Amino acid sequence: MTAPSRRPPRLLALGGGGFTEPAARALDDFALSLTERERPRACLIPTATGDASAYVAAFYRTFAGRAQCSHVSLFSREPGELRDLVLGQDLLYVGGGNTANLLALWRLHGLDAIVREAWEGGAVLVGVSAGACALFEAGVSASFGPVAPLGGGLGLIAGAFCPHWSARRPVLLEMVAGGVPCGYGADEAAALLFEGRELTEAVAAGDGAGAYRVDPGPVEVALEVRPLTAPEASGPAGA
């Protein structure tokens, strides 16, 4: 008897925006749909913002009516098992902010290995801006002030990620010219979907936002982007 096939892990990398931007609501809906559950368990990991309370509150306002929401705090750890909380989720949302701080704290608390385990086990992993950079081998980051290359990512996806494409594009081109095997970029309100470690689709909340791949040369290719149509809002879309 042949065992049923298991779908590969899914990772959605947003170039910016996310649930804090009402105009990007369609990306939130798309992320939830990837779980293939009617009311998925969705967990925010807001480490990159220093667990900013306003950011956490915006997540709950945006997703509470459509998902079972929770969040992970590394700055005020509550009693309980971090691994059990993370592995019990259908969707993990890694927020934006400071990539370098995120990576340092995740490794200190062992969250890097737990997130990898959850993703490999079937949880949909969503990263926005800095949160997306952390999931690749490298990223284009402003963690130390000026926009610059930042290595040391989790390496779930090979190469480098560049959020906020129009402002940071030259840095990614330099990284690929300097030896990074490949790079990906996305505008605000655009996202790249990876199944396993392969790029399968680029999507955007409406028309106009672009997504890109950069190969050695460097050779820059604009990807075909599928516009998403957001359903009518059922409540506040965040702050």
As annotated, the active-site residues are 129, 164
Q: How far apart are alpha carbons 67 and 109 in whole angstroms?
A: 26
Q: Cite the DSSP H helix spans in 49-208.
A: 53-63, 82-87, 99-109, 111-120, 130-133, 165-177
Q: DSSP for 13-50?
A: EESS-GGG-GGGHHHHHHHHHTTT-SS-EEEEE-GGGT
Closest CA to 97 of 143, 166, 149, 43: 143
Residue 26 CA to chain centroid, in angstroms? 15
| DSSP three-state, residue 68 | strand
Q: How far apart are alpha carbons 91 and 18 in whole angstroms?
A: 14
Q: How far apart are alpha carbons 107 and 137 in whole angstroms?
A: 15
Task: Please report, for residues 80, 104, 128, 194, the alpha-carbon distance to residue 95 in angstroms, rounded to integers and kept in the order given.
Answer: 22, 15, 6, 18
| In the block, residue with structure tokens 């993370």 | 86
159: left (phi over 0), alpha (psi -120 to 50) or beta: left
